[in-house]
Structure 1
């Protein structure tokens, strides 16, 4: 049975795709791992150098009325296995409106999938029906945040959404923790914000991961080269931090 991680934050440009691709890439070195790109911007799809045109995508799995088996939408790339996103996912709200089963399309699809120990899902920065699909299918939510004055903007709404799904549709859902990304720790503002994020995490009955993710230029270079950071620059600070984060996440998950 797979452990399913969702990477979510309704604030855009927060590093969700970077976190999802690095986590999936590192987990993929340990066990069979699938990345699912549920963001119509298709950033994770691009990093994995996966196709969108003339292939089955997540759209065909959860939006199309034919309900294609998810196994038929998996692409085996040099970076790992992925179900690609599709810009057409922006039509989800309209196309699934009034469909009582519309919130469970991804869960139903993953219930029929075997062979993966870990599944990582990248999400869009919005509280929409696709995010509900992801949360209903998931075990744990990872929330990336930055140490700036807008870091916690919208987090309370995301928290309320997660708790609502946990209460009504997925009792096994939990927040694995908040992950501090793009962190230098050099300014007093960053340190003060980190303390505030830690307090917020406690109020959400979760934690701020001990591991923080530093930023380096190699991350963008790897994305441009369509390579995983663990292959492109395995000794850069960002990659080493994601390796430590993955170990911390798995240790916490086993407990």
Structure 2
């Protein structure tokens, strides 16, 4: 069985897709890894240059009443294997309304998949039925945060959601930790915020990862070139940090 990591945060624009794609790329160098893009915006799908039109996507896997096998939605790209997102995912809430099994569609799909060691899921910044599908199917949640005054905004609600899923639908679900991204550590505010985030992590019975992710221009360049950092600029600070993070993550029990 694969270890399933979900990258989640209600706050948008903080680097969930960057974290998901780079983690999947690095893990993919070690073992067979699948990236699932569960965000209708499709940033990870774009980075992997995966198709959306005239192919099976995550939308078909979750919505198809005949339960399309997820293997039929996997695309093999130069960057790795991916199940692409679909703008139609925004309609899932209404389409699955009243379906008692609607929360378990992704778990059922992944239970039938046995040839991957790691699965990384990129999620949208919202608490909806797609996120519930991801959490119910997951083993560990990674929460990226930035060291600013709004860092913990919405985290409590996400934590409550994760704990509710753990109590009722997925007892094995854990929060692997909070990951500090886009961090320089040069300002007093950043350092103070880091301490506050670490304290909040302890209150959630989890950790702030020791590894922090620094920013560098190579990250945006790689995204524009539709490349993963591990291939485009493996020695840049951001990539080295993600490599350290992946090693730290795999040690988390």
The interval holding the TM-score normalised by the smaller chain is over 0.9
Partner-residue secondary structure (3-state), 2:19: helix
- 1:26 matched to 2:23? The reply is no
Cross-structure match for 2:52? 52
Deviates more, 1:60-69 or 1:144-153: 60-69
Please show how residues 82-231 of structure 1 align to structure 2 within 5 Å: 82-231=82-231
Offset from partner CA, 1:16-75 (integer Å, 9 cap, x none): 000000000000000000000000000000001100011100000001223210000000
Cross-structure match for 1:73? 73
Cα distance in 2, alignment partners of residues 46 and 229 from structure 1: 15
Cα distance in 1, alignment partners of residues 176 and 120 from structure 2: 13
Deviates more, 1:216-225 or 1:138-147: 216-225
Q: Is the 8 A contact 1:211 1:248 kept in 2?
A: yes
Cα distance in 1, alignment partners of residues 220 and 48 from structure 2: 14
The alignment's TM-score, normalised by the length of structure 2, stands at: 0.99
Q: CA deviation at 1:251?
A: 1.3
The alignment's TM-score, normalised by the length of structure 1, stands at: 0.99
Q: Which ranges of 4 or more aligned residues in structure 1 deviate by more than 2 Å?
A: none
Q: Is the 8 A contact 1:107 1:137 kept in 2?
A: yes
Q: Note the residue ranges of structure 2 that are not aligned, 5 or more in a row.
A: none
- 1:249 matched to 2:230? The reply is no
Q: Is the 8 A contact 1:60 1:66 kept in 2?
A: no
Q: Note the residue ranges of structure 1 that are not aligned, 5 or more in a row.
A: none
RMSD after superposition: 0.5
Q: CA deviation at 1:148?
A: 0.2
Partner-residue secondary structure (3-state), 1:211: strand
Cα distance in 2, alignment partners of residues 29 and 215 from structure 1: 22
Offset from partner CA, 1:73-132 (integer Å, 9 cap, x none): 000000000000000000010100000000000000000011000000000000000000
Q: How many residues align?
A: 253
